[in-house]
């Protein structure tokens, strides 16, 4: 009897300590966003003893290389973001939670099934209600309206696109048209978005937008090839009496940095108002990281002003260092403050507000502010991104040639 008990105990101990494998290949996940299913796609690959996960949205793949397996569970750290997926592995299924560590009580149910590649439903060539086109969009939250531009492309029942807003785009959206309803989602480690809409009798789109654990907006869209946003260079400006940006912030190692430092003198300076929690900032940082090495010898400096989720220098410094390492960012950052926009504005009192992360401030060789660009239209916006790059390069060329006057 004693021998049987010993063998049973050993069997239980062995079974509890056995590490499960994460199956390689395609997975389809579901994040519960306020009762809505947010479908997300990812694939798993193993290189030696290391697992890699690739988050998939439209043409984008975001590589996750901090994947930890312990016994029957997996933890996936979400790229540069302070977010994670914790899940139990049971054969070809995962069950757990998507967690934002920097937000209180942010823990959304998560499940995934191996071998599935579809978004909301499986692809079909069957003709469906066509949502392709450019739309003038209004998002409404508690009586406040935000204008936007919707860009959608449809093939069969598959739908892709994005929304441009005055503070940035909603990046790569992917989904389907099901029974006359458009459904789009994105999950990039920090964004957890679901959009749905139907056409009314007059062709206007009417729908909903869910974001994270508690944000909800209604939205309408009217097809309009000429839909446009407010001028991104008019939304943020200097208050009367100012012509310069002045600050003294610590870099990631605690050394104080000011624009009066020698390395900034007689150079064009690009200040990036930024946060490691911000996917649009990630897009702009990727652009600047490619652009800066090609242009720094022309007399240009780029400096990122990081506004992070916690008023804790050590926390903020760790997040920025991780981001710089992961994305191979060749320019420097300072720790400027908290991600709350009102608090961020207090650190730069010469601005009318901090409206968007990111915001780019262009400073001439004389040290005065020449232009401020609010938001960022990233690669998911197609031609709008190309136009941004063209305008950005034109602005820098004019600054280097001393052809731009200071803004008042």
| pLDDT, tens only, 197-230 | 999 999 999 999 999 999 999 999 999 999 999 9
Residues 6+ apart with CB under 8 A from 162: 150, 151, 169, 170, 171, 172, 173, 380, 381
- Beta-strand ranges (E) seen in 237-331 are 249-250, 256-257, 268-274, 300-308
**Beta strands 25-33 and 300-308, pairing class:** unpaired
φ, ψ of residue 112 to 5 degrees: the values are -150, 150
Question: Residue 157 has what pLDDT?
Answer: 95
Query: Encoding tokens for residue 196?
Result: 């749905």
- Where b means 16+ CB within 10 Å and e means fewer, 311-343 reads eeeeebbebbebbbeeeebebbbbbbbbbeeee
Pick from 112, 86, 94: which is nearest to 28 by CA? 112
Tell me the sheet residues that pair with 113: 28, 93
Whether 22-114 shares its CATH topology with 133-223 is answered yes
Multiple choice CATH, 249-400, 3.20.130.10, 3.40.50.1100, 3.40.1360.10, 3.40.30.10: 3.40.30.10
Question: Residue 126 has what pLDDT?
Answer: 78
φ, ψ of residue 224 to 5 degrees: the values are -160, 105
| pLDDT, tens only, 20-32 | 899 999 999 999 9
Domain residue limits, the chain: 22-114, 133-223, 249-400
Q: CA–CA distance from 281 to each of 276, 285, 357 (Å)?
A: 7, 6, 6
| pLDDT, tens only, 281-314 | 999 999 999 999 999 999 999 999 999 999 999 9
Taking residues 322-346, report their average pLDDT.
98
| Contact call for residues 112 and 94 (beta carbons, < 8 A) | yes
- Record the pTM: 0.92
Pick from 261, 252, 245: which is nearest to 333 by CA? 252
DSSP SS3 for 239? coil
Question: Residue 18 has what pLDDT?
Answer: 67
Pick from 177, 181, 151: which is nearest to 165 by CA? 151
Query: Encoding tokens for residue 207?
Result: 């729908």
Residue 95 has pLDDT above 50, yes or no: yes
Kind and range of the H or E element at 285?
helix 279-295
| Contact call for residues 224 and 135 (beta carbons, < 8 A) | yes
Q: Rounded to an integer, what distance in angstroms lies between the CA atom of residue 106 and that of residue 181? A: 29
Multiple choice CATH, 22-114, 3.40.50.740, 3.30.390.30, 3.40.50.1580, 2.40.128.120: 2.40.128.120
Query: Encoding tokens for residue 193?
Result: 């978005």
CATH code reported for the domain at 133-223: 2.40.128.120
Taking residues 67-90, report their average pLDDT.
97
pLDDT band at 408, cuts 50/70/90?
low
């Amino acid at each position: 009897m004693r021998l049987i008990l010993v063998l049973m105990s050993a069997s239980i101990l062995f079974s509890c300590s056995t590490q499960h494998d994460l199956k390689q290949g395609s997975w389809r996940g579901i994040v519960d966003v306020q009762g809505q299913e947010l479908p997300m796609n990812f694939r798993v690959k193993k290189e030696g003893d290391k697992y890699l996960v690739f988050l998939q949205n439209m043409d984008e793949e975001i590589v996750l290389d901090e994947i930890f397996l312990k016994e029957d569970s997996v933890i996936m750290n979400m790229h540069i973001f302070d977010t994670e997926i914790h899940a139990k592995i049971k054969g070809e299924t995962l069950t757990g939670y998507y967690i934002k560590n920097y937000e209180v009580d942010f823990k959304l149910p998560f499940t995934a099934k191996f071998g599935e590649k579809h978004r909301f439903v499986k692809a079909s060539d069957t003709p469906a209600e066509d949502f392709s086109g450019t739309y003038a969009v209004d998002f409404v939250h508690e009586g406040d309206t935000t204008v936007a531009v919707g860009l959608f492309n449809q093939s069969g029942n598959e739908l892709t696109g994005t929304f441009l807003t005055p503070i940035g785009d909603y990046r790569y959206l992917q989904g389907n048209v099901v029974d006359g309803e458009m459904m789009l989602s994105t999950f990039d480690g920090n964004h957890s978005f679901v959009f749905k809409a139907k056409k009314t009798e007059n062709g206007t789109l009417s729908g909903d937008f869910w974001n994270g654990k508690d944000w909800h907006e209604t939205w309408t869209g009217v097809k309009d090839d000429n839909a446009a946003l407010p001028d991104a260079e008019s939304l943020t400006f200097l208050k009367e009496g100012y012509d310069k940006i002045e600050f003294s912030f610590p870099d990631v190692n605690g050394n104080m940095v000011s624009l009066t430092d020698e390395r900034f003198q007689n150079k064009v300076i690009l200040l990036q108002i930024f946060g490691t929690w911000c996917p649009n900032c990630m897009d702009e940082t990727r652009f600047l990281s490619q652009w800066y090495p090609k242009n720094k010898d022309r007399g240009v400096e780029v400096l990122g002003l990081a506004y992070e989720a916690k008023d804790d220098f050590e926390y903020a410094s760790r997040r920025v260092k991780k981001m710089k390492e992961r994305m191979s960012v060749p320019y420097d950052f300072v720790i400027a403050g908290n991600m709350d926009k009102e608090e961020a504005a207090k650190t730069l009192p010469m601005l009318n507000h901090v409206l968007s992360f990111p915001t780019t401030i262009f400073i001439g060789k004389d040290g005065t502010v020449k232009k401020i660009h609010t938001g960022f239209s990233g690669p998911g916006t197609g031609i709008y991104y190309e136009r941004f790059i063209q305008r950005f390069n034109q602005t820098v060329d004019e600054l280097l040639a001393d052809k731009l006057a200071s803004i008042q």
